Structure 1
C-alpha cells in the first residue's frame, strides 16, 4: 500500500544519509526504529519530507522515536520478528488482573514482547471476583442524557478530595475503554446490560448478559492472550506461581533494568527478566494480615474485619515501588465495603464473598435485626458503612432483602449467590418472618409495615435517608423474597502509588521514574477517601 511504499522510501533516504555521514549514530538508530514500527505517522512524514528534504525527514523520524521512547521507555519489537530468547523484553507486567492483562494485550497488539508475572496459579486476581460492572458514559445508548460532566461530578463528590487530573483520565477515558472492551473482546464478551450503582446519578454500570462482569472480562482477555502464546514465535511469556521480588534499576538510577522473580510453587527457581519497562498492576494490600503488612502499619483499626480480597492481594507492588523511591499517597485510606455476605455454613471465615452493589442498585433493601430500614441503600460505600456502625455496632449483621422483580433484574448474581447458599428464597412474608436472622421482637406485622412504608416513600420519590431512586417497587404484597446476611468488610485500598495522568510512577519530588508505570487498584490519588 501507499504507507508501505512511503516507509520503504524513507528507509532508503535514511540509509543514504547515514552512508554519507550526515546523521549521528543516535539519529540513524532512532529513524530506523521509527520506520520499522510501521507507524502511520512516520509514513505521513515520509510522503511529505523524504524526497523534498531528506535530512529533515530523518531528524523528524528520529525525534519521534525519542519521544515514543520517553513515553514507554524503549521501542517495541516489530510485529513478526523472532527476537533472541535472551533479548530484553519490551515490558514486564507484574499482576494478572484486569489492569495487567489489558496492558499486556495492548502492548502485544502493538508489537511488543511481554512477560506477565502472576504469583497465584491462575489469572484474574480480585478482578475475577468483581461483579457489578464497568462504569462509563455510553454515548451510543444514552436514554438518560448522561454526560462526562455528570460522571465527573459524581466521582468528585464520592472522592471528597477536590479537583484532580486523574479524574478526567478516568471519566473521559472510560468511554473509550468501554468501546475497547466491547470491540477487542467481542469474541467472548458482551456488555449489554446497564444498571445504576450507589453514588451514581445515572445508570452507567455496564455488565454482561451472562455471568459476572469481572470473570467475564478476565476470561475474554485470557482467550486473546492465549492466541499470542500459540504463535510460532511467541512474544508473550506467561509466568504463573511466580512472584516479582525486586525492581532492578540501572546503576546510575536513570531507569529500569529488569525484574527479579522467584517461583512460589512448583520449584525454587529464581531469575531476572531484562526490560526497560515495568507495569505494576498488583492491586492493593487488603488481604495482608501479616506482621509487616501495610494494613497493620496504616490501618490497624480494621484488622478485625474480614476481607473480600484474594489471598494474593498483599501489597507486593507497593513494597517494591517504595524500595526504588516511588511516592505513596493516602495508604491510610482503606475502604470498608458495607456488604460482604456472611456464609451461614462458615460465618467466621475471614474471606467473604462480596454482595454486589447491583442488588441494591436494582432496589434491594438493607434491613436491621429489628426489621427496619436505616439508610439510603444507594449511598456511597463509606456512608452506608457508617450508618451500619451507628445502627448496630454490636452485631454488624444486616439483611439484604429483594423482591421478585429486583432479583430477576440481578439474575446473573442471584443464581451464583443462591448456589453458594448465601441467598435464601422465602415464598411469603410469613416464611420470611421465620428466618432465624431476626430479633425475637420482629413480627410479620413489623416486616409488612416496613415494606409498606418503603412503597409509600417510593411513590413520593423521597425517604428520610435521602434516597431518590426507587427501583422495582412495590416490595410489600405477595412474595417471594430473597434474603441474605451481610456485614462490612475490607474491600479496597483507596491509596497507593502516585502516578502521572499517563501512568508514570512518580518520585517524592514529582518527577517520573523512567520506564516504570502503574495501573489498576494499586494506584493512589484517584479513588478518594
Structure 2
C-alpha cells in the first residue's frame, strides 16, 4: 500500500468542512475555542488494516478505485498476525473433502445459528482464495508431492487446515500487504476513528484523530467499510493485545444506526498460557490449536488424559467450547495445576517434527525455559474470538445504513454459536472479496468527490469538541483502571459459565463503571496512551452492555454460551438475537435462522466426523 503523509491528502481543506479546516466552537462560557483538523477525501474508507480490510481494499483497487485504508497501529501490525494455526479450505490434499462438508462442519460447530448463506459462500469460495494467496506468494507448507499441506483442527472431519508452520496469519497478512503495495493502495497507520457521520439512515464520513500527532481528522466519503475486529480483549484474560479487539467496530456501527447480532457468543479458546506460571505479560496468550492438531494431549495434575471422559471419540480435537469447559471443570474440581491450569503435551512426537511444524511455539517456550519437545506446557482457557457482531448481508456487506458496510470479526453470521478453528482467516478473504466487489459496483462518479451535509458537519463539530474536552479531563479516575475493572467484571460474570444472577451483577457493575467515567482523568494529550484508553472505554462499555443483555436474554446453553441455570439446548431458541439502539435504549428481538441448501443438508446428514486415532 502507498503511505499517505499526515498532511498531504491531495485535496484542499478550504471546503464546506470549514475555512482552512478549522471549526470554531463555543464551550458554554464567554470564549470560543478554535479546533483545528484536517480533511481527507476518499471514495471508500476502509477502517481496519488486517486481512479483512486488506482483501476488501485489494478488490476495490482491482476494480479501478483508490480506497483509503486506515489502521490503529503501524502498517502490517494488525491482529491477523496472531492467528497462528491455519486457514480452512476443502482442497482435499490429504483426505477426501469438498466444500459441502466444510459447510456442514461449520454449521455443526456453530450449533446451527450460523447464517447458512454466509457459511456456504465462505466454504465454496475458499479453495479459490487459497490458490489466489498461493499465486500471490504465500509460502504454504507442502506435502512431499508438492500439494498445499493440510493439518487437523478441532471439530473438523478431515485435514482441511492449510498452514505456514504456526505463523499462518502473519504470512497471510504479509502476502496481502505485498499485493496491496503492488496496487499502490493508499493507507494511513496510527489513526483511530471515534464516530461515523450518520443520521441513522446513511453515512457521510467519519471523524477521528492521528494517534501520533493528535491532529483531528474528518474523512469525507459516502462509503465506509468497518473491518476493525472483535471484542474479546474486553475480558480480563484474553489472547488479544490489550489495545486491540475492544469493540470499536461494533460500537461505531450501533451508534451509526446499524444492528448487532448474537453478542452473547464469545469463544474461549481452551489453551491460553497461564500467567502465574510464565509471567503476567504472557497471561492468556494463545497456544495455537495447531499443537493439538499435530497430536498434542491434555493431562490434568493427576496425570489423567481427562478428555477421554468428556469426549472419547474426538478427544482433544473436539469443539473449542467442549474442550474449554472440560478444562474449566477439571480446575474447578481440584484436578488442575497449582497455577490454575492443565498440561498440554506434545513431547511424544519426534522433536524435529515439532520444530518443523511448531517453530513459533518452540521458540516462545524456550525463551521461558521450557523445551516443549521434552516437557508439557501449562494452559487454561482464554477469551479468544467473538462470534457476534454487526448484522450484515454477506453478499454485499451492507448493514442497513446506506453507505456503511462491515466484514471480518466485526460482523456476526458465519460462525453461529461457536467458531470452527481455521475459519476466521477464511472468512476474511472469502467474504472480503465479495464485499469489496459489491462496494466497487456501488461507487458512482458523485462518490469520488463526496460532500459533508450541514447536519453531519454539526455532528463532526460536536465530536471534535468532545475529543478536546476528553483530553482535558482532570478527574480522579484513570481510564486504564476502569478498563481493568471491566475485564474482571466480564470474566467473573459472563465467562465460560454464566447464569441470571451473575449476568445481572455484570450489568449493574457496567452501569457503575459508566457512572464513574464522569470523574475521568486523562494524563497527556491526544497522543497519549491514556487518551487512547479513554476513547476505548466508551466503546468497551457499550459493547459489554450489549453482550450482557443478549446473554441474559438467551435462556439456554448453546455453543460458547453456557448458562448453568439453563444447561440444555432448547430447539425453540434456534434464533438469532438482533439488537438495535434508539432514543429508548437498547432493543432485542428474535429472528429465525434460515435452513441450509439441500447439498449442505445432505452433507450434515452423512454425519462426517474426525477419527482422532489418526493422531495416536
CA drift of 1:304 comes to: 4.6
- The 3 A distance-change label for structure 1 pair 310 and 161 is farther
CA drift of 1:311 comes to: 2.0
> Conserved in 1, the CA contact under 8 Å of 2:269 and 2:383?
yes
Matched, 1:329 2:261: yes
CA drift of 1:120 comes to: 1.8
> Conserved in 2, the CA contact under 8 Å of 1:309 and 1:491?
no
Matched, 1:144 2:100: no
Matched, 1:91 2:23: no
- The 3 A distance-change label for structure 1 pair 392 and 211 is closer
Superimposed CA distance per residue, residues 345-373 of structure 1 (whole angstroms, 9 cap, x where no aligned partner): 74334753211111111111001111111
CA drift of 1:126 comes to: 2.1
| Mapping for residues 378-527 of structure 1, pairs under 5 Å | 378-393=317-332, 395=336, 396-403=340-347, 405=349, 408-412=352-356, 414-421=358-365, 424-425=370-371, 481-506=374-399, 512-527=400-415
Residue matched to 2:229: 283
Q: Per the alignment, in what secondary structure is the counterpart of residue 359 of structure 2?
A: helix
Matches of 1:90 and 1:407, distance apart in 2: 52
> Conserved in 1, the CA contact under 8 Å of 2:392 and 2:406?
yes
Residue matched to 2:139: 189
- The 3 A distance-change label for structure 1 pair 325 and 408 is farther
Residue matched to 2:123: 171
CA drift of 1:274 comes to: 1.6
- Residue 347 of structure 1, aligned match among 279, 291, 294: 279
- The 3 A distance-change label for structure 1 pair 146 and 329 is same
> Conserved in 1, the CA contact under 8 Å of 2:232 and 2:238?
no
Matched, 1:372 2:304: yes
CA drift of 1:193 comes to: 2.5
Matches of 1:416 and 1:276, distance apart in 2: 42
> TM-score of the superposition, structure 2-length normalised?
0.55
Superimposed CA distance per residue, residues 82-123 of structure 1 (whole angstroms, 9 cap, x where no aligned partner): x96368422111111111111112212222111111112343
CA drift of 1:309 comes to: 4.3
Larger radius of gyration: 1
Superimposed CA distance per residue, residues 217-240 of structure 1 (whole angstroms, 9 cap, x where no aligned partner): 1112222323344xxxxxx33211
> Conserved in 1, the CA contact under 8 Å of 2:166 and 2:359?
no
Residue matched to 1:6: none
> Conserved in 1, the CA contact under 8 Å of 2:86 and 2:162?
yes
> Conserved in 1, the CA contact under 8 Å of 2:113 and 2:416?
no
CA drift of 1:513 comes to: 2.2
Matched, 1:125 2:13: no
Matches of 2:283 and 2:253, distance apart in 1: 27
Residue matched to 2:196: 247
> Conserved in 2, the CA contact under 8 Å of 1:151 and 1:171?
yes
Q: Per the alignment, in what secondary structure is the counterpart of residue 271 of structure 1?
A: strand
> Conserved in 2, the CA contact under 8 Å of 1:124 and 1:218?
no
Matches of 1:284 and 1:413, distance apart in 2: 28
Residue matched to 2:66: 113
Matches of 1:107 and 1:268, distance apart in 2: 29
Determine which structure has greater relative contact order: mean sequence separation of CA pairs < 8 Å that are 6+ residues apart, divided by chain length: 2
Matches of 2:77 and 2:129, distance apart in 1: 18
Deviation beyond 6 Å, 4+ runs, structure 1:
none
Matches of 2:354 and 2:403, distance apart in 1: 42
> Conserved in 1, the CA contact under 8 Å of 2:61 and 2:67?
yes
Q: Per the alignment, in what secondary structure is the counterpart of residue 280 of structure 2?
A: coil
Matched, 1:198 2:165: no
Q: How many residues align?
A: 361
> Conserved in 2, the CA contact under 8 Å of 1:98 and 1:124?
no
> Conserved in 2, the CA contact under 8 Å of 1:407 and 1:482?
no
Residue matched to 2:209: 262
CA drift of 1:170 comes to: 1.7
> Conserved in 2, the CA contact under 8 Å of 1:247 and 1:260?
yes
Stretch moving more, 391-400 or 331-340: 391-400
Gaps of 5+ in 1: 1-82, 230-235, 289-302, 427-479, 507-511
Q: Per the alignment, in what secondary structure is the counterpart of residue 139 of structure 2?
A: coil
